[in-house]
Amino acid sequence: MWNPGSPPASSGGPSIQSQPGPQTITLDFAGDVHFTERTAKLLSDPATAFGPVSDVFKQADFAMVNLETAVTDRGTPEPKEFHFRAPATAFDAVKAAGVDLVSLANNHTLDYGRVGLDDTINAAHAADFPFVGVGHNVTEAYAPYYKTIKGLKIAVIALSQVTELAGPWSATDTRSGIAMAFDQARSVAAVKAARSQADFVIVFMHWGQEYKNCPIAAQKSIATALSAAGANLIVGTHAHILLGDGWMGKTFVSYGLSNFVWWYNDSASNDTGVLRVTMSGSTITKTEFVPAYINRTTGQPIPSTGAEAARISAAQAALRPCTGLASAPS
Protein backbone atom coordinates (compact mmCIF):
# COMPACT_ATOMS: atom_id res chain seq x y z
CA MET A 1 0.00 0.00 0.00
CA TRP A 2 1.28 3.45 -0.88
CA ASN A 3 2.34 5.58 2.07
CA PRO A 4 1.24 9.21 1.44
CA GLY A 5 4.57 10.31 2.87
CA SER A 6 6.48 8.44 0.17
CA PRO A 7 6.53 8.74 -3.63
CA PRO A 8 4.23 6.34 -5.49
CA ALA A 9 5.76 3.17 -6.84
CA SER A 10 6.88 3.32 -10.46
CA SER A 11 4.50 1.83 -12.98
CA GLY A 12 7.44 0.88 -15.14
CA GLY A 13 6.53 3.45 -17.83
CA PRO A 14 8.61 6.45 -18.88
CA SER A 15 9.26 9.03 -16.18
CA ILE A 16 7.84 12.52 -16.67
CA GLN A 17 10.31 15.34 -16.00
CA SER A 18 8.89 18.69 -14.92
CA GLN A 19 9.90 21.50 -17.23
CA PRO A 20 11.15 24.68 -15.55
CA GLY A 21 9.16 27.79 -16.45
CA PRO A 22 10.64 31.11 -17.56
CA GLN A 23 12.96 32.66 -15.01
CA THR A 24 12.43 36.07 -13.47
CA ILE A 25 15.05 38.59 -14.62
CA THR A 26 15.53 42.19 -13.46
CA LEU A 27 17.27 44.90 -15.45
CA ASP A 28 18.24 48.31 -14.00
CA PHE A 29 18.99 51.48 -15.97
CA ALA A 30 20.07 54.94 -14.84
CA GLY A 31 21.22 58.18 -16.41
CA ASP A 32 24.34 60.23 -16.92
CA VAL A 33 27.49 59.59 -14.87
CA HIS A 34 30.82 61.38 -14.78
CA PHE A 35 33.54 62.35 -12.35
CA THR A 36 34.26 66.06 -12.71
CA GLU A 37 34.50 68.86 -10.12
CA ARG A 38 32.41 67.81 -7.08
CA THR A 39 32.18 64.18 -8.26
CA ALA A 40 35.90 63.90 -9.09
CA LYS A 41 36.77 63.49 -5.41
CA LEU A 42 34.50 60.42 -5.25
CA LEU A 43 37.19 58.49 -7.11
CA SER A 44 39.49 58.72 -4.09
CA ASP A 45 37.60 55.57 -3.11
CA PRO A 46 36.11 54.02 -6.26
CA ALA A 47 34.46 51.26 -4.22
CA THR A 48 32.07 53.80 -2.67
CA ALA A 49 31.85 56.38 -5.46
CA PHE A 50 28.18 55.78 -6.28
CA GLY A 51 27.12 55.71 -2.63
CA PRO A 52 24.02 53.86 -1.39
CA VAL A 53 22.39 53.57 -4.81
CA SER A 54 24.83 50.71 -5.41
CA ASP A 55 22.57 48.58 -3.23
CA VAL A 56 19.78 49.10 -5.77
CA PHE A 57 21.91 47.93 -8.70
CA LYS A 58 23.18 44.91 -6.81
CA GLN A 59 19.62 43.61 -6.46
CA ALA A 60 19.31 43.37 -10.26
CA ASP A 61 20.58 40.77 -12.69
CA PHE A 62 21.92 43.47 -15.00
CA ALA A 63 22.53 47.21 -14.63
CA MET A 64 23.58 49.90 -17.11
CA VAL A 65 24.33 53.65 -17.08
CA ASN A 66 25.61 56.27 -19.50
CA LEU A 67 29.26 57.12 -18.77
CA GLU A 68 29.35 60.68 -20.02
CA THR A 69 33.04 61.47 -20.02
CA ALA A 70 36.32 60.86 -21.75
CA VAL A 71 38.54 58.63 -19.63
CA THR A 72 41.90 60.22 -20.34
CA ASP A 73 44.54 62.66 -19.16
CA ARG A 74 45.62 63.53 -22.70
CA GLY A 75 44.13 65.11 -25.80
CA THR A 76 43.04 68.59 -26.84
CA PRO A 77 39.65 70.03 -25.87
CA GLU A 78 37.18 70.00 -28.74
CA PRO A 79 35.43 73.24 -29.84
CA LYS A 80 32.48 73.07 -27.45
CA GLU A 81 31.36 74.65 -24.16
CA PHE A 82 31.58 71.79 -21.65
CA HIS A 83 34.40 69.25 -21.34
CA PHE A 84 34.37 66.22 -19.04
CA ARG A 85 37.17 63.81 -18.34
CA ALA A 86 38.06 61.32 -15.65
CA PRO A 87 40.91 58.98 -14.69
CA ALA A 88 40.83 55.26 -15.44
CA THR A 89 39.51 54.56 -11.94
CA ALA A 90 36.11 55.64 -13.30
CA PHE A 91 35.73 52.08 -14.57
CA ASP A 92 36.60 50.72 -11.12
CA ALA A 93 33.81 52.88 -9.71
CA VAL A 94 31.10 51.70 -12.09
CA LYS A 95 32.16 48.09 -11.59
CA ALA A 96 32.08 48.43 -7.80
CA ALA A 97 28.61 49.98 -8.00
CA GLY A 98 27.18 46.83 -9.56
CA VAL A 99 26.96 48.27 -13.06
CA ASP A 100 27.51 45.68 -15.81
CA LEU A 101 27.71 47.83 -18.93
CA VAL A 102 28.12 51.49 -19.90
CA SER A 103 27.07 53.40 -22.95
CA LEU A 104 29.72 55.69 -24.40
CA ALA A 105 27.47 56.95 -27.22
CA ASN A 106 27.09 60.52 -25.99
CA ASN A 107 28.25 64.08 -26.60
CA HIS A 108 31.20 63.99 -24.17
CA THR A 109 33.17 60.82 -24.93
CA LEU A 110 35.19 62.72 -27.56
CA ASP A 111 35.57 65.92 -25.52
CA TYR A 112 39.35 65.47 -25.82
CA GLY A 113 39.36 64.25 -29.38
CA ARG A 114 40.22 60.86 -30.76
CA VAL A 115 43.29 60.66 -28.53
CA GLY A 116 40.89 60.83 -25.60
CA LEU A 117 38.59 58.28 -27.23
CA ASP A 118 41.47 55.86 -27.75
CA ASP A 119 42.44 56.26 -24.09
CA THR A 120 38.84 55.66 -23.02
CA ILE A 121 38.59 52.45 -25.02
CA ASN A 122 41.98 51.26 -23.78
CA ALA A 123 41.08 52.03 -20.15
CA ALA A 124 37.86 50.04 -20.48
CA HIS A 125 39.75 47.09 -21.92
CA ALA A 126 42.38 47.30 -19.18
CA ALA A 127 39.63 47.26 -16.54
CA ASP A 128 37.89 44.38 -18.36
CA PHE A 129 34.73 46.48 -18.40
CA PRO A 130 32.29 46.28 -21.31
CA PHE A 131 30.92 49.27 -23.21
CA VAL A 132 28.81 49.98 -26.28
CA GLY A 133 28.29 52.85 -28.69
CA VAL A 134 31.84 53.70 -29.75
CA GLY A 135 34.59 51.95 -31.63
CA HIS A 136 37.67 52.20 -33.78
CA ASN A 137 35.38 52.11 -36.82
CA VAL A 138 31.70 52.11 -37.70
CA THR A 139 31.35 48.33 -37.38
CA GLU A 140 32.63 48.35 -33.81
CA ALA A 141 30.58 51.41 -32.86
CA TYR A 142 27.24 49.85 -33.84
CA ALA A 143 28.13 46.37 -32.59
CA PRO A 144 25.81 44.97 -29.89
CA TYR A 145 26.88 43.77 -26.49
CA TYR A 146 25.55 40.28 -25.79
CA LYS A 147 24.97 38.70 -22.41
CA THR A 148 23.08 35.57 -21.40
CA ILE A 149 21.15 35.93 -18.14
CA LYS A 150 19.42 32.85 -16.71
CA GLY A 151 19.31 31.33 -20.16
CA LEU A 152 17.99 34.50 -21.87
CA LYS A 153 20.28 36.13 -24.40
CA ILE A 154 20.05 39.93 -24.41
CA ALA A 155 21.60 42.36 -26.87
CA VAL A 156 22.36 46.02 -26.13
CA ILE A 157 23.04 48.71 -28.72
CA ALA A 158 23.87 52.36 -27.86
CA LEU A 159 23.26 55.36 -30.11
CA SER A 160 23.59 59.13 -29.86
CA GLN A 161 21.13 61.60 -31.39
CA VAL A 162 22.75 64.78 -30.10
CA THR A 163 23.55 67.23 -32.88
CA GLU A 164 26.62 68.84 -31.25
CA LEU A 165 29.68 67.83 -33.31
CA ALA A 166 27.72 64.82 -34.59
CA GLY A 167 29.33 64.96 -38.02
CA PRO A 168 33.01 64.95 -37.06
CA TRP A 169 32.45 62.62 -34.12
CA SER A 170 30.58 59.91 -36.01
CA ALA A 171 32.34 56.62 -36.65
CA THR A 172 33.06 55.68 -40.26
CA ASP A 173 34.72 52.78 -42.04
CA THR A 174 38.09 54.46 -41.59
CA ARG A 175 37.59 56.61 -38.48
CA SER A 176 36.88 55.95 -34.84
CA GLY A 177 33.87 57.53 -33.23
CA ILE A 178 30.30 57.21 -32.01
CA ALA A 179 27.32 55.25 -33.29
CA MET A 180 24.91 57.96 -34.41
CA ALA A 181 21.15 57.52 -34.66
CA PHE A 182 21.13 60.09 -37.45
CA ASP A 183 22.14 57.20 -39.69
CA GLN A 184 18.72 55.62 -39.31
CA ALA A 185 19.32 52.90 -41.88
CA ARG A 186 22.41 51.66 -40.08
CA SER A 187 20.76 51.96 -36.67
CA VAL A 188 17.73 49.96 -37.79
CA ALA A 189 19.97 47.36 -39.42
CA ALA A 190 21.93 47.00 -36.18
CA VAL A 191 18.72 46.32 -34.23
CA LYS A 192 17.48 43.82 -36.80
CA ALA A 193 20.81 41.99 -36.76
CA ALA A 194 20.81 41.88 -32.96
CA ARG A 195 17.21 40.65 -32.94
CA SER A 196 18.20 37.72 -35.12
CA GLN A 197 20.82 36.69 -32.55
CA ALA A 198 19.17 37.51 -29.23
CA ASP A 199 15.95 36.92 -27.34
CA PHE A 200 15.64 40.50 -26.09
CA VAL A 201 17.04 43.71 -27.62
CA ILE A 202 17.75 46.93 -25.68
CA VAL A 203 18.65 50.25 -27.31
CA PHE A 204 20.26 52.84 -25.02
CA MET A 205 19.81 56.32 -26.52
CA HIS A 206 21.41 59.70 -25.88
CA TRP A 207 18.85 62.15 -27.24
CA GLY A 208 16.37 64.92 -26.75
CA GLN A 209 16.48 68.62 -25.94
CA GLU A 210 18.09 69.74 -22.71
CA TYR A 211 15.62 70.74 -19.98
CA LYS A 212 12.61 69.85 -22.17
CA ASN A 213 10.58 67.20 -20.35
CA CYS A 214 8.57 66.07 -23.37
CA PRO A 215 10.21 64.11 -26.19
CA ILE A 216 10.88 66.03 -29.38
CA ALA A 217 9.89 64.82 -32.84
CA ALA A 218 13.33 63.35 -33.57
CA GLN A 219 13.12 61.13 -30.49
CA LYS A 220 9.65 59.86 -31.36
CA SER A 221 10.69 59.21 -34.95
CA ILE A 222 13.75 57.09 -34.19
CA ALA A 223 11.94 55.29 -31.35
CA THR A 224 9.22 54.28 -33.80
CA ALA A 225 11.80 52.99 -36.27
CA LEU A 226 13.76 51.06 -33.64
CA SER A 227 10.59 49.53 -32.22
CA ALA A 228 9.52 48.36 -35.67
CA ALA A 229 12.99 46.87 -36.18
CA GLY A 230 12.59 44.65 -33.11
CA ALA A 231 13.75 46.60 -30.07
CA ASN A 232 12.03 45.34 -26.92
CA LEU A 233 13.22 48.17 -24.69
CA ILE A 234 14.45 51.70 -25.48
CA VAL A 235 16.04 53.74 -22.68
CA GLY A 236 17.24 57.33 -23.01
CA THR A 237 19.34 59.99 -21.31
CA HIS A 238 20.77 63.49 -22.00
CA ALA A 239 18.09 66.10 -21.20
CA HIS A 240 19.26 66.59 -17.54
CA ILE A 241 15.67 66.10 -16.34
CA LEU A 242 13.24 63.21 -16.20
CA LEU A 243 11.01 62.41 -19.15
CA GLY A 244 8.04 60.09 -19.34
CA ASP A 245 7.83 56.43 -20.27
CA GLY A 246 5.31 53.87 -21.49
CA TRP A 247 4.50 51.42 -24.25
CA MET A 248 4.90 51.82 -27.99
CA GLY A 249 3.15 48.66 -29.13
CA LYS A 250 5.17 45.86 -27.58
CA THR A 251 8.22 48.07 -26.93
CA PHE A 252 8.71 49.80 -23.59
CA VAL A 253 10.24 53.27 -24.05
CA SER A 254 11.76 55.41 -21.30
CA TYR A 255 12.53 58.77 -22.89
CA GLY A 256 14.74 60.24 -20.19
CA LEU A 257 16.45 59.18 -16.96
CA SER A 258 18.07 62.52 -16.08
CA ASN A 259 21.44 63.07 -14.42
CA PHE A 260 22.77 60.46 -12.00
CA VAL A 261 26.31 60.91 -10.63
CA TRP A 262 26.56 64.55 -11.56
CA TRP A 263 29.01 67.43 -11.29
CA TYR A 264 26.67 70.43 -11.10
CA ASN A 265 24.24 71.38 -8.36
CA ASP A 266 21.15 72.39 -10.32
CA SER A 267 17.90 72.08 -8.38
CA ALA A 268 16.00 71.72 -11.65
CA SER A 269 17.82 68.49 -12.44
CA ASN A 270 18.41 66.80 -9.07
CA ASP A 271 15.36 64.52 -9.33
CA THR A 272 16.51 61.19 -10.70
CA GLY A 273 16.09 57.47 -10.22
CA VAL A 274 16.54 53.96 -11.55
CA LEU A 275 14.29 52.30 -14.11
CA ARG A 276 13.77 48.67 -13.08
CA VAL A 277 12.39 46.28 -15.69
CA THR A 278 11.23 42.86 -14.54
CA MET A 279 10.81 40.07 -17.06
CA SER A 280 9.54 36.51 -17.15
CA GLY A 281 11.76 35.07 -19.82
CA SER A 282 11.68 37.61 -22.67
CA THR A 283 8.33 39.11 -21.62
CA ILE A 284 8.32 42.35 -19.64
CA THR A 285 5.98 41.82 -16.70
CA LYS A 286 6.64 44.97 -14.68
CA THR A 287 8.35 48.33 -14.95
CA GLU A 288 8.97 50.57 -11.97
CA PHE A 289 10.75 53.81 -11.25
CA VAL A 290 12.93 53.81 -8.13
CA PRO A 291 13.24 57.52 -7.20
CA ALA A 292 16.41 59.19 -5.97
CA TYR A 293 17.67 62.72 -5.35
CA ILE A 294 21.15 63.97 -6.22
CA ASN A 295 22.98 65.07 -3.10
CA ARG A 296 23.87 68.75 -3.39
CA THR A 297 27.32 68.26 -1.89
CA THR A 298 28.59 64.96 -3.25
CA GLY A 299 26.69 64.68 -6.53
CA GLN A 300 25.64 61.12 -5.64
CA PRO A 301 22.08 59.89 -6.26
CA ILE A 302 20.57 58.98 -2.88
CA PRO A 303 17.54 56.64 -3.01
CA SER A 304 14.49 58.56 -1.82
CA THR A 305 11.96 57.65 0.86
CA GLY A 306 8.78 59.09 2.27
CA ALA A 307 7.41 62.35 0.91
CA GLU A 308 10.41 62.95 -1.34
CA ALA A 309 9.99 59.56 -3.02
CA ALA A 310 6.28 60.17 -3.47
CA ARG A 311 6.90 63.59 -5.00
CA ILE A 312 9.52 62.40 -7.51
CA SER A 313 7.53 59.31 -8.49
CA ALA A 314 4.36 61.34 -9.02
CA ALA A 315 6.21 63.93 -11.09
CA GLN A 316 7.76 61.24 -13.27
CA ALA A 317 4.45 59.44 -13.78
CA ALA A 318 2.77 62.71 -14.77
CA LEU A 319 5.11 63.04 -17.75
CA ARG A 320 3.54 60.17 -19.73
CA PRO A 321 0.75 62.09 -21.50
CA CYS A 322 3.08 64.18 -23.67
CA THR A 323 5.04 61.11 -24.76
CA GLY A 324 2.17 59.58 -26.72
CA LEU A 325 3.00 56.27 -25.05
CA ALA A 326 0.45 53.86 -23.62
CA SER A 327 0.13 52.45 -20.11
CA ALA A 328 0.13 48.86 -21.36
CA PRO A 329 1.52 46.92 -24.33
CA SER A 330 -0.63 46.36 -27.39
Does residue 1 have a pLDDT over 70? no
As a whole number, the mean pLDDT across the chain is: 94
Confidence grade of residue 19 (pLDDT, cut at 50, 70, 90) = low
Query: What average pLDDT score do residues 139-150 get?
Result: 98
Nearest-CA neighbor of 201 among 172, 182, 227?
227
Q: Does residue 330 belong to any structural domain of this protein?
A: no
319 lies in a domain?
Answer: yes
Domain-located, residue 5: no
Domain with 189 in it: 24-323
Instruction: Read off the pLDDT of residues 213-257 as tens digits, 9 standing for 90 and up.
Output: 999 999 999 999 999 999 999 999 999 999 999 999 999 999 999
Whether 290 is covered by a domain: the verdict is yes
The enclosing domain of 127 has a CATH number of 3.60.21.10
Q: Identify the pLDDT of residue 227.
A: 98
Residue 204 has pLDDT above 90, yes or no: yes
Q: Tell whether the model's pLDDT for residue 261 goes beyond 80.
A: yes
Q: Contact 84/69 with Cβ under 8 angstroms?
A: yes
pLDDT at 178: 98
Domain count across the chain? 1
Q: What is the pLDDT of residue 17?
A: 56
Q: What percent of the chain has pLDDT over 70?
A: 94
pLDDT of 18: 53
Asked whether residue 10 is domain-assigned, the answer is no
pLDDT higher than threshold 60 for residue 7: no
Q: Does the pLDDT at position 15 exceed 50?
A: no
Cα(137)–Cα(172) distance, rounded to whole angstroms? 5
pLDDT digit string (tens) for 206-215? Answer: 999 999 999 9
CA 248/CA 42 separation, integer angstroms: 38
* Interval 89-106: pLDDT, tens: 999 999 999 999 999 999
Residue 4: inside a domain: no
Is 285 part of a structural domain of the chain? Answer: yes
Grouping H, G, I as helix, E, B as strand and the rest as coil, residue 310 is helix
User: Does some domain include residue 311?
Assistant: yes
Region 274-300: mean pLDDT is 98
* DSSP letter assigned to residue 227: H
pLDDT recorded at residue 3: 34
The answer to whether the beta carbons of residues 257 and 268 sit under 8 Å apart is no
- Please state the rounded mean pLDDT for residues 23-38: 98
